[in-house]
């Protein structure tokens, strides 16, 4: 039954134009039928050759998912049909370890994504997700030598069962929310990173993600464990081809920052305009550990994403820097959550949003200070830039304070591109479009300057594309 | 060809209120004109109107720049023709570095919509850097300026010097300097005055709007005009500045029967 669907991939819109990219004719070797049930989960688990505990984990999560009502807050999910989605597509038989082993058509796609270049630049491990399966995963010897594990999560389940068992779902349990439950049942791919005590990874670890077949859900599952005093920067960037019907992307990212460790997780996402991007990202930071989320959201039909940091022990710090660009037909419901569970913990949230051509961006933030968590500091800055009168921006900040001895500041600003700013730049020879693009790029500069160089360049280019033809 | 800007019977209003009421003035490349007038007389309105600010409505009149009537042109097209305005109150553009901005501006103005630059339409980075550094040195501006965000958190004096740097980089034929001396201390006026006088030459015509003859000590104008109630009521030479310094605007107001 499942196999009857396998051929349909060839009918898919290979020739359709993709605004920022390309679509290669890759034939998946397996594709489940639409919809999710126990049979599909078992089939998926069989093909992956998973241990029973993981199969059971999926099935338990599926039960929770079935019981959860449809999420009512955030954005409009009424068009999302869980039965009209492929939950598992396998593009190649196994994870590839070396560049030479990668099939040519897949390589071509990676070429365009610039992976070999990134490889040269960073001499780093490259994990890339192609359809639901990680097909290419190149781990450089340096990582091995310093004891750093960087694998796709499917492989990690088999090779590091103890670590995975201990931490998988410990930060974000299946019951956390509807989409965490769905991901826990249907997850595939994603990255697993373990950094041993005291090890500092000098270059960013990168992963590239793509959705490449119609109606195909992507449910990556990423788990990063930074052991005591270690340091790592993980970078993910996404592009996706445009298709006519809806796509669902629902990832879960769990991060453990042990005592004195430092983790930065950078994301730039530019989904096609029909993608639902519903992501749960959470980190636990222990004593004196520091967690930073840097999150850039462009494209998609609806994004709901609120990276969070739980500061579990004194001295922990959480920084969240996010940017959202909502264009025509798009709703970016993004934000951040920080939980001060211990005294003397510090957080900083910086959120920037841009709304254009009727796009809508919302900031949803949560600052929580537990009773007895004395001497905590939190600083929230929300800046919204609205480019025209059809566009919209809202903020929904919640602050829950159970402790008097705290210092919380919240600033929110909404601005429009000023006539004076436009005139100033135009009087220097810039066209209206160049001038407004420059103002928007300046607006997001505080985030862009935190990105690795080539991402910063890409970010500015994406903004430029978004701005093209925006003014008459 | 020698550039010139010819303003004929120009009327400008702001929010339906007439401010410039029939103004005539010609500034040629290589000439220095000073425009003086009391607060609110319309000096900045004239400057903004000439540059094409959307809030300033041109009711009638003509502005011919190098043979082209520029009143229908966008501000950037006027800039490309060689017109420049140093603002009385420069606007901050947070997050945009002086260098990035100037590279785009210089490329736009020099390309004049045509070719002559690199693949991406920008002047080559090395060439630009070299020129920027040289000009900054010439004007005594610190290197770190190039990396700072445009007018963002600049002191009053820094803003004015940033305007002069832009003037130097964009190399216009006609420049309007709107109170480039206001808010400056005595030393800063000297620095700005000397900077501008370095840029002055046969290639540049200047209309300096100022309240104080001090700046004019550094940049000796050949022509001085007095703007009162939206019109140029007196034109002359250096002696006009001396008269204003001694007697203020009252005698002229009385002469033309204009209330304060
Ligand atoms: N953007 C504006 N919005 C509203 N009114 C304006 C604007 N610009 C100018 N005006 C009005 O037009 C009149 C002339 O102002 P303008 O700024 O041109 O004077 P000025 O001669 O430059 O004065 P100052 O010496 O103080 O700089 C004033 O009444 C002023 O309030
Ligand atoms: Mg003025």
pLDDT score recorded for residue A25: 53
Q: Which ligand is nearest to the Cα of residue A423, counting in written order?
A: 1
The partner residue sitting opposite B79, judged by closest CB among A428, A438, A446, is A428
Cβ pair A423:B90 closer than 8 A: no
A187 and A307 part of one domain: yes
The pLDDT assigned to A237 comes to: 67
Buried b (16+ CB within 10 A) or exposed e, A197-228: eebebebbbbbbbbbbbbbbbbbbbbbbbbbb
Whether A415 has a pLDDT exceeding 70, the answer reads yes
Query: Are the CB atoms for A259 and A285 separated by under 8 Å?
Result: no
**Nearest residue in chain A measured CA to CA from B77:** A429
Higher pLDDT, A118 or B29: B29
A1 is a domain residue? no
Say yes or no to pLDDT of A256 above 50: yes
Q: Is B108 close to A419, i.e. CB distance below 8 A?
A: no
Which of A12-26, A108-122, A268-282, B197-211 is modeled with the greatest confidence?
B197-211
Whether A6 shows a pLDDT value over 50: the answer reads: no
pLDDT at A20: 37
The CB density around residue A7, as the number of other CB atoms within 10 Å, is 10
Q: Residue B81's closest CA among B68, B90, B99, B98?
A: B68
Give the integer Cα–Cα distance in Å for A369 and A320: 17
Per-residue pLDDT at A126 exceeds 90: no
Q: Tokens at residue A177, please?
A: 């929310």
Q: For the residues A254-269, what does the mean pLDDT come to?
A: 94
Nearest CA, atom 29, ligand 1: B40
Mean pLDDT by 10 residues, chain B (260 residues): 90 96 96 94 96 96 95 96 96 94 94 52 89 91 92 91 95 95 84 88 94 87 95 93 90 84
Q: What's residue A106's pLDDT? A: 47
- The predicted pLDDT at position B150 comes to 96
**Ligand 1 residue neighbourhood (C-beta within 6 Å):** B 14-15, 19, 37, 39-45, 55, 88
Q: Nearest chain B Cα to A444, which residue?
A: B95
> With 50 as the cut, is the pLDDT of residue A194 above it?
yes
The CA B6 to ligand 2 mean position distance, Å, reads 21
For A107-113, the CB contacts below 8 A with 24+ separation are: A108/A24, A109/A22, A109/A24, A109/A26, A109/A210, A109/A212, A110/A136, A110/A208, A112/A21, A112/A22, A113/A208, A113/A210, A113/A239
Nearest to A185 by CA among A295, A85, A282: A85
Q: What is the pLDDT of residues A297-311, one digit of tens each?
A: 888 899 999 999 999
Q: Which residues of A touch B53 (CB under 8 A)?
A: 423
- Beta strand segments in A27-69, E: 30-31
| Tokens linked to A389 | 């009168």
User: At residue A245, does pLDDT exceed 90?
Assistant: no
**pLDDT score at B120:** 66
What's the distance, Cα to Cα, between the start and end of chain B in Å? 43
Name the burial class of residue A21, with classes exposed (0-12), middle (13-18) and buried (19+) by CB atoms within 10 angstroms of its CB. Answer: middle
Q: Residue A38's domain spans which residues? A: 9-97
Question: For a pLDDT cut of 70, what percent of chain A falls above it?
Answer: 76
Do residues A235 and A266 lie in contact, with contact meaning Cβ atoms separated by under 8 Å?
yes
B150 versus A218: the higher-pLDDT residue is: B150
Q: Reply yes or no on whether the pLDDT at A125 is more than 50.
A: no
A375 and A428 part of one domain: no
> Nearest CA to B62 among B49, B75, B74?
B49
Confidence (pTM): 0.79
| pLDDT value for A133 | 39
Rounded to a whole number of angstroms, the distance between the first and last alpha carbons of chain A is 53
Delimit the domains of chain B by residue range. 4-255
Question: What residues pair up with B228 in beta bridges, in sequence order?
Answer: B231
Answer yes or no: is A3 within a domain: no
Supply the mean pLDDT for chain A. Answer: 80
Q: How confident is the model at residue A12 (pLDDT cuts 50, 70, 90)?
A: very low
A409/A343 same-domain check: yes
Q: Which of A97, A124, A143 is the last residue of a domain?
A: A97
Mean pLDDT over A260-282 rounds to 90
> Mean pLDDT lowest for which of A17-26, A64-73, A398-407, B5-14?
A17-26
Cβ atoms A429, B105 nearer than 8 A:
yes
pLDDT at A218 over 90: no
B76 in contact with chain A, both atoms CB, cutoff 8 A:
yes
The number of distinct structural domains making up chain A is 3
Read off the pLDDT of each residue in A364-372 and give the average, rounded to a whole number: 94
Phi, psi of A447 (to 5 degrees): -85, -45
Domain match, A310 and A458 both: no
Which residue from B175, B247, B243, B186 is spatially nearest to B214, judged by alpha carbons?
B186
Model confidence at A167: pLDDT above 60: yes
Provide the ipTM. Answer: 0.95
Examine the pLDDT at A367 and tell me if it is beyond 90: yes
Task: Choose between A372 and A31: higher pLDDT.
Answer: A372
Same domain, A68 and A143: no
A322/A466 same-domain check = no
Q: Which of A223, A251, A207 is nearest to A163 (CA)?
A: A223
How close B88 gets to chain A, by Cα (Å)? 11
Report d(CA A468, CA A256) in Å as an integer.
41
Shared-domain flag, residues A162 and A198: yes
pLDDT of residue A269: 80
* Residue A469 pLDDT: 57
- Give the closest residue (by CA) to ligand 1 atom 4: B14
Record: fold of B4-255: Rossmann fold (3.40.50)
CA A386 – ligand 2 centroid, Å: 30
B162-188 exposure pattern, b = at least 16 Cβ within 10 A, e = fewer: bbbbbbbbbbbbbbbbbbbbbebeeeb
Name the band, by pLDDT with cuts 50, 70 and 90, for residue A4. Answer: very low
Do A267 and A339 fall within a single domain?
A: yes
Tokens of residue A158, six digits: 């088999």
Give the helix/strand (H/E) hosting B67.
Answer: none
């Amino acid at each position: 039954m499942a196999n009857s669907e396998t051929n349909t991939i060839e009918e898919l819109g290979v020739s359709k134009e993709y605004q920022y990219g390309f679509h290669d004719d890759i034939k998946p070797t397996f594709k489940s039928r639409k919809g999710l049930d126990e049979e599909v989960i078992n089939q998926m688990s069989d093909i992956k050759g998973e241990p029973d505990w993981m199969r059971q984990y999926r099935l338990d999560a599926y039960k929770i998912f079935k019981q959860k009502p449809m999420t009512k807050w955030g954005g409009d999910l009424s068009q999302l049909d869980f039965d009209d989605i492929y939950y598992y597509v396998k593009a190649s038989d196994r994870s590839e370890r070396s560049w030479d082993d990668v099939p040519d058509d897949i390589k071509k796609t990676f070429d365009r994504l610039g992976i070999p270049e990134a490889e040269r630049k960073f001499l780093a491990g490259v994990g890339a997700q192609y359809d639901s399966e990680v097909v290419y995963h190149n781990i450089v010897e340096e990582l091995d030598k310093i004891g750093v594990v960087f694998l796709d999560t499917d492989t990690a389940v088999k090779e590091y069962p103890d670590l995975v068992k201990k931490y998988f779902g410990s930060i974000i349990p299946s019951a956390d929310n509807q989409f965490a439950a769905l991901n826990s049942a249907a997850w595939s791919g994603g990255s697993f990173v373990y950094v041993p005590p005291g090890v500092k990874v000098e270059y960013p670890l990168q992963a590239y993600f793509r959705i490449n077949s119609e109606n195909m859900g992507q449910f990556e599952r990423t788990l990063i464990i930074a052991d005591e005093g270690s340091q790592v920067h993980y970078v993910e960037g996404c592009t996706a081809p445009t298709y006519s019907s809806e796509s669902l992307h629902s990832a879960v990212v769990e991060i453990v920052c042990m005592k004195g460790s430092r983790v930065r997780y950078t994301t730039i996402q530019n989904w096609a305009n029909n993608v639902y991007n519903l992501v749960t990202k959470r980190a636990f930071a222990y004593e004196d550990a520091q967690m930073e989320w840097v999150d850039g959201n462009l494209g998609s039909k609806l994004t709901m994403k609120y990276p969070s940091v739980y500061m579990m022990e004194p001295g922990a710090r959480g920084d969240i820097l996010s940017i959202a660009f909502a264009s025509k037909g798009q709703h970016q419901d993004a934000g951040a959550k920080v939980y001060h569970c211990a005294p003397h913990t510090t957080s900083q949230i910086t959120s920037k949003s841009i709304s254009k051509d009727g796009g809508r961006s919302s900031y949803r933030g949560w600052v929580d200070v537990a009773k007895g968590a004395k001497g905590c500091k939190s600083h929230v800055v929300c800046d919204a830039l609205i480019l025209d009168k059809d566009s919209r921006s809202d903020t929904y900040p919640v602050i829950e304070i159970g402790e008097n001895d705290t210092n919380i500041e919240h600033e929110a600003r909404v601005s429009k591109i000023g006539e004076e700013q436009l005139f100033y730049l135009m009087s220097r020879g810039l066209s209206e479009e160049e001038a407004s693009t420059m103002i928007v790029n300046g607006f997001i500069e505080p985030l862009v300057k935190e990105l690795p160089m080539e991402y910063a360049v890409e970010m500015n280019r994406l903004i430029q594309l978004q701005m093209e033809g925006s003014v008459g | 060809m020698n550039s010139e800007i010819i303003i004929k019977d120009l009327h400008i209003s702001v929010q339906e209120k007439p401010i410039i009421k029939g103004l005539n003035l010609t500034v040629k490349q290589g000439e220095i004109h000073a425009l003086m007038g009391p607060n609110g007389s319309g000096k900045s309105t004239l400057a903004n109107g000439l540059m094409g600010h959307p809030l300033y409505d041109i009711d009638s009149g003509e502005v011919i720049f190098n043979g082209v009537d520029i009143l229908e042109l966008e501000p950037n097209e006027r800039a490309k023709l060689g017109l420049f305005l140093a603002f009385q109150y420069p606007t901050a553009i947070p997050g945009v570095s002086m260098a990035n901005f100037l590279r785009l501006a210089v490329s736009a103005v020099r390309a004049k919509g045509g070719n002559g630059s690199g693949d991406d339409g920008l002047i080559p980075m090395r060439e630009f850097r070299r020129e920027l550094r040289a000009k900054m040195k010439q004007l005594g501006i610190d290197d770190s300026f190039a990396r700072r965000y445009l007018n963002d958190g600049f002191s009053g004096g820094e803003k004015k010097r940033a305007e002069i740097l832009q003037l130097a980089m964009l190399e216009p034929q006609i420049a309007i300097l709107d109170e480039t001396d206001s808010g400056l201390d005595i030393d800063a006026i000297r620095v700005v005055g000397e900077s501008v006088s370095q840029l002055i030459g046969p290639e540049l015509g200047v209309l300096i709007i100022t309240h104080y003859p001090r700046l004019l000590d550094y940049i000796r104008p050949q022509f001085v005009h007095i703007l009162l109630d939206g019109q140029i009521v007196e034109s002359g030479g250096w002696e006009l500045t001396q008269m204003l310094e001694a007697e203020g605007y009252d005698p002229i107001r009385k002469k033309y029967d204009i209330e304060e």
